[in-house]
Amino acid sequence: MTKNKARRIVAIVLVAAAIVMGIAGGIFLPQRNGETARATTEELRIRTLLDVTGDGLVETYVKIARDEAMKVTKEAGGNMAARREAANKAEEETRALYANTETDYSTIDTSALAPAVAEYAARLEVYYNLTSDAEQAYIDAHMAEAEAEAEAAREAKIAAGEEVGEEKPVTVDMSGFVATPEMEAALADADAAFEDVAAALCGIYPALDDDALKTLKPTITSVVLQQGESFTDLYDRYMAAGSGKAVTAPTKAWLIRYADDLLYGAMALIVAAVIILFYETLSKKLGIPRIVLGVFFILLCFLCLWFDLSLATLLSNSLVRMGMNAVMVLAMVPGIQCGISLNLGLPIGLVAGLIGGLCTIEWGIPGVWGFVVAILVGCAIAAIAGWLYAQLLNRLKGEEMSVTTYVGFSIVSLMCIAWLVLPFQSLKLRWPMGTGLRNTIGLDSNNFKHVLDDFLAFDIGSFTVPTGLLLFMLLMCFLMWLFTRSKTGVAMSAVGNNPRFAEATGINVDKMRVIGTVLSTVLGAIGILVYSQSYGFMQLYTAPRQMGFIAASAILIGGASTSRCKISHVLIGTFLFQGVLTLGMPVANVLVPGSTISETLRILISNGIILYALTKSGGESRA
């Protein structure tokens, strides 16, 4: 009871905080485009300008002091070291002198500066608009040429048998670009306006000399130029220049700047409150692992918003990755239902699918038909291999987990030899010298790259919906669902659920296990082809080794146990797993820049989930 009470109190506090944050955000967010925001940015611009100029001034003083000190020491007959020491000492002293001086900006009269800056900004804008127009025209004129060049280079590479990487967007070489007369005129105009600004600044900082102004010009220009930039960007830039304290109403400016984050925070708090309030119901319905991952996913979404990453693009990416992986995850379903537990021998199917894909490239069948042929060939091979694999599993009942893992690893190693000796002739597939297939085979529009992804795909803002991919995923799930409702499917799931029960009904347990295993392997073959067409590459050699584990952990995240699963577990699990990985990487990169933390995170999550599931597999089968 008290626990419930505490929970309710926490939830109320959170909701109250959320309401406050939400109201604050709601009030201040619209002000970004309003007068306050404009005034604030103007003010900030002037202040930043003064600030950087002041800093430039300090540098000037420092320089003077150093020269002075050097000169004095030289006259006193000091050697080089002594001179340097004296100069450093003078610099330190000068800096110390100015470090703690708080400039009270409000006492400075900016009446002359403000209009000058505004004028300079306007002229600069004209100049930059002209520049970007001219540049775009240049690019348009030279695009075809550049494309032809890139294609030629690519052909040459293929002909020479070198590895061809992913197609990069063609770029136009800008070295031939020359400024137009209009641009030059605008630049002259702007420079004239800068003279006014410089004069106004000299009025404020009499010590400012021409040399210092020359050095400061790029800085001043960058401060003044604010064309096309949002309030947030400007605020952040001015803040970085160190003049936050200078604004008349810093709290208000801050609130306007972070109004969106306040709104996100409010939403996050409400989500947290809901989870705390309904924790028990949720954990009963979803299970703790799904809550943990779900909360983590939501947290990542909020972090993306917080760090101003494009959430829509990232979610779109996760949707694509979900579609890419879902069929492979679906391959776990017949395995679990027929009682061979997690089919970690999935690489058998993957390899079969890859061979199917190689065949279409070898035979040069383009587009959708290439994909269809790849699937047919892959399925045929997968069915045969799966049948043999099932015979092995039926002879080693009760040891499925180790058998599947072992088979998965050995087939990958075996195929590492096979890839070297398979008689494929296409230069796209072979190494240029010697024998054997390439490590990574790039697909292009001549093969089946993106046949599903691009089918009926459409954009909503920066959110791309890979319609074909999702439809295919749903179609496979639907077919699997139909199968589980068929007489054979029902018998198969009874075998997985309780083999003795199935036997007591006269069901051939071994046969059902064979059906399940073959089905799982065939789905694996289809899965890797779907994955490859979306990824744009077919990866041979050791690449398929991990995929079985990834698929297994995805379905376990979705709520399946090693003896029980549903189609919904596939969809939930794949989305959560891929979503967390897709969102986690950029967020981790922001949190810990320049690290490989995201890769570490991926390994941690996928292996951690498998480990967790295995601890559960021995216990009760009811999740």
Partner 1 sequence: MSAEYVLEMRNITKNYGENTVLNDVTLKVRPGEIHALLGENGAGKSTLMNVLFGMPVIHATGGFGGEVVLDGDKTNITSPHDAMTKGIGMVHQEFMLLPGFTVTENIKLNREVTRKNIVSRVLGRNMETLNMNAMSSAARKALDSVGMSIDEYTRVEGMPVGYMQFVEIAREIDKTGIKLLVFDEPTAVLTESEAKQLVSVMKAIAESGIAIIFITHRLDEVMEAADSITILRDGKLVTCLDKKQTSIIELAELMIGRKGEAMVSVEPREVPHDETAMSVRDLYVNMSGEEVRGVSFDVFKGEILGIGGLAGQGKLGIPNGVMSLYPSDGEVTLFGEQLTLGNASNALRMGIAMVSEDRKGVGLLLDQSIEDNIAFTAMQVKGEYLHKFGPISLKDGAAIRAQAEKMIKELDIRCFGPLQHSGTLSGGNQQKVCIARALTLNPRFLFVSEPTRGIDIGAKKLVLETLVKLNREMGMTIVMVSSELQELRSICDRIMIVSEGKLVDILSPAASDADFGLAMSGIKPDEHRGGEAQ
Residues binding partner 1 (CB under 8 A): 482, 485-487, 490-491, 493-494, 497-498, 500-501, 503-507, 563-564, 621-622
Minimum CB–partner distance for residue 519 and partner 1 (Å) = 15
Residue 482 is given by DSSP the state: H
Residue 458 is given by DSSP the state: E
Closer Cβ to partner 1, 237 or 564, answer by number: 564
Closer Cβ to partner 1, 136 or 486, answer by number: 486
Minimum CB–partner distance for residue 530 and partner 1 (Å) = 24
> What CA–CA distance (Å, rounded) separates 246 from 251?
11
Q: Are residues 573 and 559 in contact, defined by beta-carbon separation less than 8 angstroms?
A: yes
Minimum CB–partner distance for residue 524 and partner 1 (Å) = 23
Closer Cβ to partner 1, 188 or 482, answer by number: 482
Closer Cβ to partner 1, 507 or 518, answer by number: 507
Minimum CB–partner distance for residue 566 and partner 1 (Å) = 11
> What CA–CA distance (Å, rounded) separates 558 from 575?
9
Phi, psi values for residue 592, rounded to 5°: -125, 85
Minimum CB–partner distance for residue 397 and partner 1 (Å) = 16
Q: Are residues 577 and 592 in contact, defined by beta-carbon separation less than 8 angstroms?
A: no
Minimum CB–partner distance for residue 623 and partner 1 (Å) = 9
Minimum CB–partner distance for residue 446 and partner 1 (Å) = 38
**Which distant-in-sequence residues (6+ apart) come within 8 Å of 70 by Cβ?**
83, 86, 87
Closer Cβ to partner 1, 276 or 490, answer by number: 490
Minimum CB–partner distance for residue 518 and partner 1 (Å) = 17
Phi, psi values for residue 621, rounded to 5°: -80, -15
Minimum CB–partner distance for residue 497 and partner 1 (Å) = 5
**Which distant-in-sequence residues (6+ apart) come within 8 Å of 229 by Cβ?**
237
Closer Cβ to partner 1, 168 or 487, answer by number: 487
Residue 544 is given by DSSP the state: G
Closer Cβ to partner 1, 126 or 342, answer by number: 342
Minimum CB–partner distance for residue 562 and partner 1 (Å) = 12
Residue 365 is given by DSSP the state: -
Closer Cβ to partner 1, 116 or 494, answer by number: 494
Block residue for tokens 């082809």: 529
Minimum CB–partner distance for residue 501 and partner 1 (Å) = 6
Phi, psi values for residue 398, rounded to 5°: 90, -15
Closer Cβ to partner 1, 48 or 337, answer by number: 337
Q: Are residues 331 and 544 in contact, defined by beta-carbon separation less than 8 angstroms?
A: no
Closer Cβ to partner 1, 33 or 505, answer by number: 505
Q: Which of 568, 609, 475 is nearest to 530 (CA)?
A: 475
Q: What is the dihedral of CA 354, 355, 360, 361, to 10 degrees?
A: 80
- DSSP reduced 3-state for 466: coil
> What CA–CA distance (Å, rounded) separates 488 from 486?
5
Closer Cβ to partner 1, 5 or 500, answer by number: 500
End-to-end CA distance of the chain: 27
Closer Cβ to partner 1, 445 or 486, answer by number: 486
Residue 168 is given by DSSP the state: P
Alpha carbon 121 to chain centroid, angstroms: 36
Q: Which of 531, 479, 482, 519 is nearest to 374 (CA)?
A: 531
Minimum CB–partner distance for residue 480 and partner 1 (Å) = 13
Q: Are residues 127 and 187 in contact, defined by beta-carbon separation less than 8 angstroms?
A: yes
Strands 537-539 and 458-460, bridge-based pairing:
unpaired
Phi, psi values for residue 444, rounded to 5°: -135, -170
Q: What is the CA radius of gyration of the chain?
A: 33
Read out DSSP for 298-350? HHHHHHHHHTT--HHHHHHHHHHHHHHHHHHHHTHHHHHHHTS-S-TTTHHHH
